[in-house]
Amino acid sequence: MDEQPVETTLYSLGAAPPEPDRRSDERHLSLLRVGSMIIGDRRELCLIKNISSGGMMIKAYCPIETGTRISIELKHGEPVSGTALWAEGDTIGVRFDDPVDVLALLTWSSDGPRPRMPRVEVDCVSWVREGAVVHRTRAINISQGGIKVEAVQPLTIGADVTVSLNGLEPIAGIVRWTEDASYGITFNRMLPLAGLVAWLRDQRERIRAA
């Protein structure tokens, strides 16, 4: 049986606030990032589904109407203010008052334990070698521990593969799951954080230049 992807907070290098997610919402939510949300004079908790420099999509545990002013603490002591742009049930789209540095949200204090880096949304060509066959794929998101790609030709679940991305050393991994034309690949070793963040910054500059 194919392993199913687990939903985690998704970080986007784009500037636009997240739009409503039309996909099925049957995935596990246990790894979504928890945020502290202030509405008026009360504080609430929420689950952060994805973040871009322009806004975020959250799962709220209290009713929030469109136009509501919200302040969300993404990192301790660093609240970000915005407005509820849209609401579909308990899923809320928030537009930030000012753009945030998404990559800065991925860093942490040296005082505490280092958490595993979350997935970051990308859009670039990736090459996946499976045996003697090299597949041209599109990278959808990446973390220190793996990558999600879209492939025209099917990849084999459980296959040992090598992933190549322009600007990074080839990375060995295993194809863990598939969903439609998407595949999840787990890396055999964690990518060094500094190198991955530098690569992501380069990707962000490419997006801005385009």
CA distance 209 to 119: 23
* Torsion angle, alpha carbons of 56, 27, 59, 47, to 10: -80
Which CATH superfamily is 120-209 part of? Answer: predicted glycosyltransferase like domains (2.40.10.220)
Q: pTM value?
A: 0.64
What pLDDT does residue 13 have? Answer: 73
What does DSSP say about strands 133-142 and 119-130: parallel, antiparallel, or unpaired?
antiparallel
Task: For 163-193, write each residue's pLDDT tens digit.
Answer: 999 999 999 999 999 998 999 999 999 888 7
Helix count (H) and strand count (E) of the chain?
Answer: 1, 13
What architecture does CATH give domain 10-106? Beta Barrel (2.40)
pLDDT at position 78? 74
Please write the tens of the pLDDT for every residue from 2-55. Answer: 454 556 677 777 778 878 865 444 333 445 677 778 898 888 878 888 888 899
- Calpha distance 91→159 (Å, rounded): 36
Are 10-106 and 120-209 equal in CATH topology? yes
Domain ranges of the chain: 10-106, 120-209
As to burial, measured by CB atoms within 10 angstroms (0-12 exposed, 13-18 middle, 19+ buried), residue 24 is exposed
Query: CA 181, CA 150: separation in Å to the nearest integer?
Result: 6
Q: Yes or no: say if 163 and 170 are a contact pair by the CB < 8 Å rule.
A: yes
| Mean pLDDT across the chain | 83
